[in-house]
Structure formats: C-alpha cells, structure tokens
C-alpha cells in the first residue's frame, strides 16, 4: 500500500532554491546547445534576449529595453525581430519557422505569468520546433503562495513571503499540465532561484493533444494546489549543467533517468 503525501495545513511554503540563478543557467544552456535560432516571449529590459548570439525573435507587448540586445558584431546577433504585441497576437499572425527559414532551436517562455498563457505559449511554439529543440519555462517553481498568487496586486500574504516583491503567478500549473497530459515529453525542473527553470525536450511538433483537450486541461489545473504539485515533482540541481555532456544526456531516448545518471557520476 502506498502512503499519500502529507499536505501541510496553512499556506504552502518551501525552502528557497539553492542552485545557480536562472540567468546563469540560461547562459549555460546557450553555451551548451549553441542554438541556431532563439525565440523569447517576455523580454522587458532585454536581460535574457541579450544572451542569444543567433538570429532571434522577441515578443513583448511593452518592451523596456535598456541594453544592447544585439550584442554587436562580430559574434553578435545577425538578426533580431522585435514584435511589440502579446504572444497570442504574434502567433495568430506570424510563423517563426517562416521568419527564421527553419525551426526554433531554443525558446524561452517568460511572458504573462498565468498558466493558460504559458500553456498556450508552449502549444504555439512546439509546432515550430525540432524534436530535440529545447523549450525553457521560467517561474514554474514558486517557493510560496505569495509568489504563486494569480493576481500580482494581491498582497494578502506578503508579510510571510520569502520574496515579497516577486510574482511568478500560477505558471506552475502549465508545468503540471505538461507532466500530466504529455508523458511523451522529457521535462527537467531545476532549482534555479528565485522561481525555478524548466527545460522541456523530446518535442512533438505534430502533437495536437493539448489543443484538442485545452478546456479540459485548464479546468483540471484550476483545481490543483501548490502543495500537491510539489509532492509529485522531482527537482534537479543546477550543478548538473556544469557537465558538458549534460545536454546529450538530456535528449537521450525515453527511459534515461537523468537523476540516476547524475548520482552515478557524482555530480550534485
Ligand atoms: C518577467 S518579464 C520578462 C523578463 C525577462 N525575460 C528577463 O528575464 O529579464 C515579463 C514580460 O512579459 C511581458 N508580457 C506580459 N504579458 C504578455 C503577453 N501576453 N505576451 C507576451 N509578453 C507578455 C511583460 O510586458 C513583461 O515585460
């Protein structure tokens, strides 16, 4: 007989993530994967867009760029398309594969922090990827219910919050949906502070499952609480990314257990 996970009373809170910060991890991913194309949803000042060295697409309804996102030449971006609009409006009008002349290698989802938006962003990007492309999601591992609040104006739990000014929203429910409804994907959640970084690969550009069951999966996720989500989640140390072989480990055939691999090779 299996024992059900214990769900604590009161607002959920867990220790802060202890790994490398999400920007460092993204830089590492770019260095390891060397993507030929990069698509980003949610750019703000351009911190994450500036990391890419390849042709890029950035989508944000309100850019607030405060740096050189092209990163100059030689070695900078050969092209950078900025779309000042919501990601839904972008995908209704544009095809990234047509803009790039090929598939999206690396995508970063960091736009609207509500799970339906992050889920649609994933659903809209996947058809433009190769199976071994990477889709990275930010903010799916909030450390407490204040950080995970759906409404950023809600300050009712700010007094006990670990990061009173952070807002990850309920993006974590998009991760819950991908884990539950798309077992064909390979999903790795990393302990990058403050709110985690999730890497998804083994993509299926032809998959229509989420589109067909969109209303159902959104309804199911609405009823899930943060404590139950964490009870079923394995979180990997960002230190795993120090190994150059990490990326090839990640996209090994199904059944490959990255946690076991890391333990066996003494990386932690
Ligand atoms: C957290 S910021 C992105 C930060 C940036 N990626 C970084 O790490 O520095 C989120 C951005 O998403 C944008 N955003 C909000 N709603 C959006 C939507 N529906 N589609 C695309 N971007 C959206 C906001 O304007 C904001 O600039």
Among 50, 59, 65, 111, the mutation site with the greatest number of ligand 1 atoms within 8 A of its Cβ is 111
Backbone dihedral region of 164: left (phi > 0), alpha (psi from -120 to 50 degrees) or beta? alpha
pLDDT band at 128 (very low <50, low <70, confident <90, very high): very high
Q: Nearest C-alpha to atom 8 of ligand 1 is from which residue?
A: 48
What are the two backbone dihedrals, phi and then psi, of residue 79, each rounded to the nearest 5 degrees? -155, 145
Which atom of ligand 1 lies at the shortest distance from residue 62's CA? 25
Residue 26: predicted pLDDT? 95
Establish whether residue 117 lines the binding site of ligand 1, counting it when its CB lies within 6 angstroms of any ligand atom: yes
What mean pLDDT is predicted for residues 60-88? 93
- Regarding predicted confidence, which is higher, 234 or 1? 234
Tens-place pLDDT, residues 166-214: 999 999 999 999 999 999 999 999 999 999 999 999 999 999 999 999 9
What mean pLDDT is predicted for residues 218-236? 94
pLDDT over 90 percentage in the chain: 80
How many whole angstroms separate alpha carbon 182 and alpha carbon 115?
16
pLDDT over 70 percentage in the chain: 87
Establish whether residue 42 lines the binding site of ligand 1, counting it when its CB lies within 6 angstroms of any ligand atom: yes
Task: Tell me how far the alpha carbon of residue 152 lies from the centroid of ligand 1, in angstroms.
Answer: 13
pTM of the model: 0.92
Establish whether residue 110 lines the binding site of ligand 1, counting it when its CB lies within 6 angstroms of any ligand atom: yes
Domain 22-264 has CATH 3.40.50.150: yes
Q: Please check whether residue 10 is in contact with residue 126, taking contact to mean a CB–CB distance below 8 angstroms.
A: no
Establish whether residue 43 lines the binding site of ligand 1, counting it when its CB lies within 6 angstroms of any ligand atom: yes
Residue 249: predicted pLDDT? 67
Residue 40: beta bridge partners?
58, 108
**Run of H or E residues at 211:** helix 209-212
Average pLDDT, the chain: 90
Residue 74: predicted pLDDT? 77
Q: Nearest C-alpha to atom 11 of ligand 1 is from which residue?
A: 42
Residue 266: predicted pLDDT? 47
């Amino acid at each position: 007989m299996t024992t059900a996970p214990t769900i604590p009373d009161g607002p959920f809170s867990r220790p802060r993530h202890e790994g490398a910060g999400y920007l460092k991890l993204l830089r590492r991913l770019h260095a390891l994967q060397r993507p030929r194309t990069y698509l980003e949803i949610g750019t703000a000042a351009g911190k994450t867009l500036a990391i890419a060295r390849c042709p890029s697409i950035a989508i944000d309804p309100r850019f607030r760029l405060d740096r050189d996102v092209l990163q100059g030449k030689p070695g900078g971006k050969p092209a950078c398309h900025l779309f000042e609009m919501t990601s839904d409006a972008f995908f209704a009008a544009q095809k990234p594969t047509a803009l790039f002349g090929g598939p999206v290698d690396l995508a970063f989802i960091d736009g609207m922090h509500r799970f339906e938006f992050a889920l649609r962003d994933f659903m809209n990007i996947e058809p433009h990827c190769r199976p071994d492309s990477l889709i990275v999601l930010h903010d799916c591992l909030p450390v407490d219910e204040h950080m995970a609040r759906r409404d950023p104006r809600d300050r009712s739990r700010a007094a006990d919050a670990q990061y009173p000014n952070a807002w990850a929203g309920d993006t974590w429910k998009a991760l819950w949906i991908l884990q539950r409804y798309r077992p064909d994907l390979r999903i790795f959640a990393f302990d990058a502070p403050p709110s985690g970084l999730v890497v998804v690969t083994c993509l299926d550009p032809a998959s229509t499952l989420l589109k067909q069951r969109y209303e159902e999966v959104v309804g199911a996720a609405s009823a899930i609480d943060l404590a139950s989500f964490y009870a079923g989640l394995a979180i990997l140390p960002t230190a795993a990314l120090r190994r150059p072989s990490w990326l090839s480990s990640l996209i090994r055939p199904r059944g490959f257990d990255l946690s076991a691999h890391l333990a066996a090779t003494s990386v932690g």
